[in-house]
Structure 1
Amino acid sequence: MGLLMSDIMELPVMEKSTLLTPSSLLHRQMVEWISVIETPVEDFVKQKEFVLSTGMGCSNDPKCLEQYTRDVIDSGASAIGFATGRYIFTIPDTIVEECKRNGVVLLEVPWEVRFGDIMQEVLQAISEEKREEQRFVEHIRQEMVDCVLNGEGLKEISSLVYEHTSIPVAISDKDRNVRANHYFDRKMIDILNQNEAGAYRSVPFTQTSYLEHHYPIEKYEFDSGECYQLTILSNHKKQGYLLFKEGKGAFSASDLTILEHAVTACALFFVKENAIEMTEIRLRDNFLLDLARENKEISDGLMEKGHLLGYNLEKPYVCIAGDIQFSKEIQTHVTSIDSNVASSSMHSRNYYVQSEIQHAADQIKRERMTAFEDGRVIIFLEADKESYMETTHQFLDLVERRLHELLAGITVSWGISFHGDGIKAFYESYQEAVTALRFGYRREEAGFRTFFADTKVNRLLLSISKNEEVVDLVTYTLKDLIEYDEKRQADLLHTFMVYNKYNSNVSQTARAMNLHRQSLLHRLRNIERLTGLSLLEADDFFLLELSVRMWMLIKE
């Protein structure tokens, strides 16, 4: 911000002043401040300053005046004005030549022209120029904000930056995916993103101190040039980056102000984008949860609503209900990851599960619908009745493999159902999938896959167990065996279930339980003694198996 010397020379108070250096310098030198400085100069002069002097202290001493002039020039002043008629009568040619060599404007000011009048008019003109520039920059800021509020985006913001500053600029998201580029060197972006071979180094931003900026600026040097980076933040989280490089000249104060306004507008855009995405996710979640939890008719209106959310409710779907379990180490790791993520739309462990579900569905070219509820993931995956089990296994294999690579230690247990033809049966399929999940927990440790179709026997037993007479029979059959197990921790019930699993094969059962053959036979004889049933008699064996399985179902 400031005035060109050519503008200052047009002020009425400068009418009587004489220019001693080439007029071309007037259009090159910018003035941001004016002061009266006498010898010694020391640190009293700053860059882009118009210095006035009477030469007092250097009268009749040309060498002193020359030294004063060199000191002012070395301080970075834009122009020098000497008042002639009291202490200096003629400005030496050596000083004129010194100013020409250094491109500094040199003026001779008549003694009768008061410095106070010059300073007043120049400062008023500079202040008005600053106000005009501030109004200009504020107008650009408002334009950028309006871009976001009116539904436009990052391309329009980058276009405004280039239009008003001629600075090449690119805007990326937090993952460094370029979302807008206005004449910025794409090769530099690819090197920064490690998509192309090339060396670069980060160096401190050392722009001259008079250019104030409020956001940290990072500078990168490449073999082919250099660029700068501003980080786009929202709620102290990274949302993206704004990359820029010098355009037609060095950065001005207004350039940096416009760039910082661009960063603010970009942050607003990402916040708006994230809010829209979160709203869409919430709408999809609620829609799918309503389908799964409420037994409602799949009407044309509901299908149209699903279509607006990107769901096709007329396709056949298998329902997969998964319970997600994280170790303490994984929960800490996910929290650590989330604290560094600027973006996006879901900063929780569900985000990673959602991403892998989407990737797996894309890999097998199947549509999917997903929602989360209290640590449970609900998936409706497009499938055919004849091959839904194969499709489900293929899909879950991909999901689990990717999740284990990303978060070692995660465990997911699955319940799966394909109700009827899988068409418009969302409520029924979900209820069956949850039932399969519950039965899976009764039989195995976490990390299983249980299909509802494979739970027929357990469902039958659970239904029979509601009959009091049956419960009494089970209790009578197993009473002594249960008491023996509780007193001696003999685990005979478990021994029988393993023995049954291996079709009464003693050798296989002993190996599976890591028991000596004679120890296993001793346990089996105890089972027969305590129940009064023979393991060699088919009816006795059936009664014992039925009783044990039913008792375990009732107990759980």
Structure 2
Amino acid sequence: MNFESKLSVQEILQNKHFGHAKVIAGKEGLCRPVRWVHVLEVISIENLLNGNELILSTGIGWQGDQNAFALLVKKFIDSNAAGLCIELGQYISAVPQEIIELADTHNFPIIVFSKEVRFIDITQEIHSLLVKKHYQILSDLEEYSNRLNQLLLSSNPQQKILQLLYDYLGMSIFYISNQGEVKVIPKKSSNEQDEMFNLLKNNQIPKHLNVAHQSVQALNQTFADLFIISESEAITEFESLILDRSAIALAQSLLRELYIEEQRKAKEAEWVSCWLEGEHSNEQIQQYLSELEPTLKPNKCTVLLCKADNLDKIISEITYLKVFISSIFDQRGIFLLTSIQKNQMVFILLNKRKPDDFKRRVQEGIDCLKNSDFIETQNISQLEFSVGKFVNNLSHIKNSYQTAKETLNIRGKMPNELSEYFYEDLYIFRLVLAANEQGVLLEFISDYIGPVLEHDQQTNGELLKTLKIYLQCKGAKKETAERLHIVRQTLYHRLEKLYELIGNDFMDPYKRQAIEVSISAYEYASASNESLEYSSYSVSKSS
């Protein structure tokens, strides 16, 4: 069923007011759509037309001036007007051959009235037809939307929606999912389908084809692309609206499927929790995954922790949140299993693509989450992420889980310039954490930078900051002074004091490494306890 949503010049000619009208030029353009009727009697028409207007005129504005007449017709053509209707008589007796040829060249209809007509009757009648046409469009859209709603309540609604779209428009339908699944109605040969797929993908549409596109979106994510392709006439506004309604219905269907799938996964959360605690063998895990997703063959995995202060307050929306997060990573070739634990979500990330760029895709997924409008609408506060160790053996996921928790712990205490999500990017802070757990961290700090800390606390000085920047600049005094925003002489005085406190050999490789670790350890410990005093680091000689 193909509903005509436009009022053409040809249809208007069937109106009673055009009984004595004659088309003298541009007969090939009678299919042009008419959106409005406009009476024009002036030559200067800049900014007066929006396109698809049927112009009515007596010719009073250019009477006797053929050049002005020709220029005006050219302006009508450039403005994409639907056509020109002229009343012959008092102001113009005939249309020059030059203008007829110009109109024929551009398929621009020129219609003449040989008898006097009332423009007000014509405009009133045509505007009435336009209103009826728009009302019919709304009625047809309502009917189509009702059909879509009925299909959404049936089994396998996706294929039925695509078929309905084809039945209504009679155009080729292309549905391309993010996973590369392609559905085509009517069916085409493999070569034809591949050729059209490449043209759509690369946006290289031949001129003889008319294409309209709509994304299938849900939760601010694009899951697929829907195309309608006409090999004859241009795609109308009504057909574009039908396409839009179909894309929305497909998104609703897809969202329902994802929601049901996520609820199914939620029932398996206990099994996932046991996996995180290392209670399943590699064989048990492989069997479970094959039953869950037969085509899933992960080659690498890790654990992502997502922590939020108010996660417990949005528990009613947690399924949609999980669907949203799963969709983001699925688009990047990553399969998710989820476990909810107090104020954090634990995701097991299973890589489905080549392992070389797994970390980059995980990073992209996290960045997408952080910048998402959907996350903002959920009013989730203080959202934090951490990624554990990447492991190849599925039974080693406990190790990744433990390191993800360590990463989250360290990230809360790290200096601002280090804000990586990944355990492997914590560098020296992994040793700092281990030293702190073993109770040797404070002694280590005291041994290498204790005198500097004591001096700063007693004098409210900036020797520690100076030492840190000086080491970062590899001993370059000019760069150090610039970064500290001090003059060179002040830097020299501070360096002399540092030589006095920790020795003039602190740039020696091994001692320098120990001092740099001590500074990082101090920043970590300070973040853990903001009221830390130097006395905490003092180690009694008697001990």
Q: TM-score, normalised by structure 2?
A: 0.48
Structure exhibiting the larger radius of gyration computed from Cα positions: 1
